[in-house]
Structure 1
């Protein structure tokens, strides 16, 4: 029998059409291996846990009202890799979105044998008839069952491999099984920090004239330091002992300021562009920390203060990280005048803000346009102007505004106007306060937010392009794959946000070291830098190990993320699971990521013609901190599984 994909047909339907069910179950029971009988515990996915014989929600596997005894319930994105040993002849399954999902569920199933794609379904949505897959795998060594979202995020993507099984070669002794890969060492080199002063982070910063201005000059090296600034614009002052620039710009315009940092081992100088004007925030992607991925509802004032303390003491602030953001669960209803109140975990929000500002850092907060936040606390619906005024009075510098319960207001209205409306309302409220508050839209990419988030009627500085990230490979891979093409809508002052970081100790209140493998973490940081995404740390910074610090404090990757040209990377080559991403930088060089999404190491080549350059090029590896020499035409390197080689490529002038 040839490989078949029968859309809309369950096994019962096949019988009705006169097609033999036995044709799908051609092997005797002794020569059949059900996938749900394998050890699936190491399979990662975008949400929840993979389940044998049950849906991902824990119910009987049900497609189009038909219940299946055997099968695997999973959730996009997930990858099941099976070693076959050449012992199987056929794989078959009935696939679709489980009946338990909401109408938002939409998935794509793929079957890959030894790197060759045998079947890829069209996007299957809740309510679509399931499809029967039957593929010849005779002689194959490895089988990959892949479930991806349909390009619209992973919300409710409950996919079933119902009746999934392998027909085996009669008499086979070595049974197929799930492949569990050993953890490969990270492809990076720890770089000792120099004693000689160096200035890092953003090269450009903007603010509204008349509003509070705060900028901590990020500098490393052996101290103590003496900071100075030449041509600082009127209204601003620099504290020579702390490096904090504060005050308020007196007028609009662009100012070129020469910063100097002097220490016992030398002096560093760097130009900083300060831009005054309306809507000049986030001229580079925001960098800082957010409480949710580590603490979730367990966050409190002491944990936020500890994060601010650690941002300074760990040295991360000296590399450009500046925001300390509280996520959900700080709210406690409203007073008799309708003003938002804080709960006992946050007894004095203004004092907490002052504590953070005193360190030269910025302070962020969270709300929702609906009646309730995601965690069920008081949100901003019909109190937007009051809340914006409260935030300004508390000294808030950053607002994350999360869709959540606004879905009960919008109901079934999926129009662009409905998606934009709540963000327009809060945007207008923020414009009325006498304070610069960076506006971060969080609605998971609905309505192609990247196309309208920067609209003047909205005023977003950044916007989530995906659902929530989790600390597993399936989640990270799904997010990376969804970003291609969004880059044309981002730039200085308006950035695509693929969610917060998942490195270090994380866990939403039940903390644990991230489940991302070391090379996956390197890929995570590399891609967020290439994509010009906000870099918001999501870990317990009091428990960072050296590897986590090295990931977060790599100035060569930070320079890519904070590049003042502000052009995010494009995916220029896609060859199966091998990809090449590149972005131009302000100094005429190119940042290039060689990305391996495969489960095995892969050799990947970047051709200079693919990234729009020619001639001899000087190439530097930014994780090995190593110059690779002058190369002509291309560069080829082996990239670890689930990894990235990050390069800086610079043309060599001919003499």
Structure 2
């Protein structure tokens, strides 16, 4: 009996410790050996997070309504209406791009073999429509996906697309598993570097300078925490080499790279080195406060997605971000899915204080009166400045991660007090903890109001799910 009691207590303690470990400790991705890879100089220099509109919500809602991807599309008239709306209502505030996403068929219809159409719309025509309104076109595609016929010639080589596909000669992580959905380029195959270079040249020639590339974790090891094994997994060396080739060609052609669904192994060694921007949170999905703060709050995982909500993701990866470093991407915002003005202010503020993009997914038909939250010029000045803030703590279950701060290029300080709780709360910070001293002039960036002088301690009563963002200026 004593032995049974002992083992029962031991099991209980083990379960308790495991639970605490999952909820409290920062579970960073494991280390994996990486071969020596090329250095690509200057890919982060002077690069700031984009402000743009995405077709994501339209596609997501169509899919939720049961529309098959093969039947999903946008007509030319719909695109014209979108472009006109973005150019009129959003572009004056810095939102200078629209971007495609997945869902809608992506097809290759010319001899290049690269993607030429998004649904029924030719990308060259879509790019021209955007340009005519002073907008840029961003494209959701991956230079490791093959769209065209297998016998398509890779320009500048004697190889064809078919030579890039796995043929059993290279080691993979899951040799008995077939790839789901995608035909991948094996970066260690001859011709792969030229294929990737041709991809970026293709988009450069179309006038596209932003590529959002998805499902990178599936390529690296074929694992998806939600779906299990989803592919062969081409290994750390192939993944690293592919990212190096991508960085080289993207830099060559002046194209911004947005990396989506990466595992971020070795403390984001590959992604931070070779990508302009990297997703650090699960998909937006239904959006709202769940996406911003509550989804698996306080937990981290060792593979993608390392965090399930935006706030945790920005906190967890804050140590790799900064001016002239990789940009952290919290995925799309759908402000029409938030319950209160306080939540909407927090959702926009968090992105901008973390130096991330603001990517609007609301449609003209769903955005309602939320445009004003996206177009707060005093907050958008952070993006224009290239500002990247930090949390006071980068631990997930530390309340001090709800205090963010940083310095503008002119020396002004930005401080954000957040309240992720469900009740109003007083949030305070001694400015000396942030490296701020003296007496400063304070301005509230949501109230658009000067609030006198401050020294010593900043304290405010913050509504549930709300924030207070201030700019502190030397008198």
The alignment status of 1:594 with 2:417, answered yes or no, reads yes
Hey, what does 2:389 align to over in structure 1? 568
The structure with the largest helix share of the pair is 2
Hey, what does 2:283 align to over in structure 1? 468
Q: CA–CA distance in 2 between the matches of 1:372 and 1:152?
A: 32
Structure 1, unaligned runs of 5 or more: 1-13, 24-63, 65-91, 97-106, 110-120, 124-146, 154-276, 505-512
Q: 1:534 aligns with which of 354, 357, 378?
A: 357
Partner of 2:265: helix, strand, or coil?
A: coil
Q: CA–CA distance in 2 between the matches of 1:367 and 1:573?
A: 32
1:620 shift after superposition: 1.2
Partner of 2:125: helix, strand, or coil?
A: helix
Shift of the 484–341 alpha-carbon distance from structure 1 to 2, 3 Å rule, reads closer
Hey, what does 1:552 align to over in structure 2? 374
Once the two structures are superposed, the pairs formed by residues 478-627 of structure 1 within 5 Å of their partners are 478-484=309-315, 486-492=317-323, 494-504=325-335, 513-515=336-338, 517-546=340-369, 548-564=370-386, 566-571=387-392, 576-577=398-399, 579-627=402-450
Partner of 1:594: helix, strand, or coil?
A: strand
Partner of 2:120: helix, strand, or coil?
A: coil
Report the TM-score when normalising by structure 2: 0.70
Partner of 1:543: helix, strand, or coil?
A: coil
Q: CA–CA distance in 2 between the matches of 1:635 and 1:308?
A: 43
Asked if the contact 1:465–1:496 (Cα under 8 Å) also holds between the matched residues in 2, the reply is: no
Hey, what does 1:446 align to over in structure 2? 264
Q: CA–CA distance in 2 between the matches of 1:618 and 1:636?
A: 15
Q: What are the superposed Cα offsets for residues 595-620 of structure 1, whole Å, 9 maximum, x if unpaired?
A: 11222211011222111111212111
Partner of 1:483: helix, strand, or coil?
A: helix
Q: 1:646 aligns with which of 450, 469, 475?
A: 469
Q: CA–CA distance in 1 between the matches of 2:266 and 2:329?
A: 13
Q: CA–CA distance in 2 between the matches of 1:483 and 1:414?
A: 27
1:468 shift after superposition: 1.9
Q: CA–CA distance in 1 between the matches of 2:422 and 2:47?
A: 37
1:541 shift after superposition: 3.0
The alignment status of 1:17 with 2:4, answered yes or no, reads yes
Partner of 2:259: helix, strand, or coil?
A: strand
Q: What are the superposed Cα offsets for residues 24-51 of structure 1, whole Å, 9 maximum, x if unpaired?
A: xxxxxxxxxxxxxxxxxxxxxxxxxxxx
The alignment status of 1:394 with 2:206, answered yes or no, reads yes
Q: CA–CA distance in 2 between the matches of 1:452 and 1:537?
A: 28
Higher relative contact order (CA 8 A, sep 6+): 2
Hey, what does 1:263 align to over in structure 2? none
Q: CA–CA distance in 2 between the matches of 1:424 and 1:573?
A: 29
Shift of the 370–149 alpha-carbon distance from structure 1 to 2, 3 Å rule, reads farther
Shift of the 464–485 alpha-carbon distance from structure 1 to 2, 3 Å rule, reads same
Q: 1:288 aligns with which of 29, 44, 52?
A: 52
1:623 shift after superposition: 1.0
Hey, what does 2:196 align to over in structure 1? 384
Q: What are the superposed Cα offsets for residues 61-87 of structure 1, whole Å, 9 maximum, x if unpaired?
A: xxx9xxxxxxxxxxxxxxxxxxxxxxx
Shift of the 576–488 alpha-carbon distance from structure 1 to 2, 3 Å rule, reads closer
Partner of 2:331: helix, strand, or coil?
A: coil
1:402 shift after superposition: 1.2
Asked if the contact 1:291–1:304 (Cα under 8 Å) also holds between the matched residues in 2, the reply is: no
Q: CA–CA distance in 2 between the matches of 1:562 and 1:389?
A: 28
Q: CA–CA distance in 2 between the matches of 1:93 and 1:449?
A: 30
* Larger Rg belongs to: 1
Q: CA–CA distance in 2 between the matches of 1:544 and 1:606?
A: 35
Q: CA–CA distance in 2 between the matches of 1:335 and 1:380?
A: 19
Report the TM-score when normalising by structure 1: 0.52
Q: 2:240 aligns with which of 420, 442, 464?
A: 420
Q: 2:219 aligns with which of 403, 406, 419?
A: 406
Q: What are the superposed Cα offsets for residues 253-294 of structure 1, whole Å, 9 maximum, x if unpaired?
A: xxxxxxxxxxxxxxxxxxxxxxxx975776321111122244
Once the two structures are superposed, the pairs formed by residues 201-350 of structure 1 within 5 Å of their partners are 279=43, 283-296=47-60, 297=69, 298=72, 300=74, 302=76, 303-314=78-89, 316-334=90-108, 337=111, 339-343=113-117, 345-350=119-124
Shift of the 517–529 alpha-carbon distance from structure 1 to 2, 3 Å rule, reads same
Q: CA–CA distance in 1 between the matches of 2:109 and 2:221?
A: 24
Q: CA–CA distance in 1 between the matches of 2:115 and 2:383?
A: 36
Shift of the 633–312 alpha-carbon distance from structure 1 to 2, 3 Å rule, reads same
1:336 shift after superposition: 8.4
Hey, what does 1:203 align to over in structure 2? none
Shift of the 450–558 alpha-carbon distance from structure 1 to 2, 3 Å rule, reads farther
Shift of the 15–362 alpha-carbon distance from structure 1 to 2, 3 Å rule, reads farther
1:411 shift after superposition: 4.3
1:93 shift after superposition: 12
Q: What are the superposed Cα offsets for residues 491-538 of structure 1, whole Å, 9 maximum, x if unpaired?
A: 45544223323233xxxxxxxx41454322211111111111011112
Shift of the 628–376 alpha-carbon distance from structure 1 to 2, 3 Å rule, reads same
Shift of the 490–421 alpha-carbon distance from structure 1 to 2, 3 Å rule, reads same
Q: CA–CA distance in 1 between the matches of 2:15 and 2:234?
A: 30
Structure 2, unaligned runs of 5 or more: 30-40, 61-68, 148-178, 187-191, 223-230, 294-308
Shift of the 335–576 alpha-carbon distance from structure 1 to 2, 3 Å rule, reads closer
Aligned residues: 387
Q: CA–CA distance in 1 between the matches of 2:46 and 2:232?
A: 33
1:573 shift after superposition: 9.0
1:360 shift after superposition: 1.1
Asked if the contact 2:114–2:146 (Cα under 8 Å) also holds between the matched residues in 1, the reply is: no
Shift of the 281–611 alpha-carbon distance from structure 1 to 2, 3 Å rule, reads closer
The structure with the largest strand share of the pair is 1
1:344 shift after superposition: 7.0
1:621 shift after superposition: 1.1
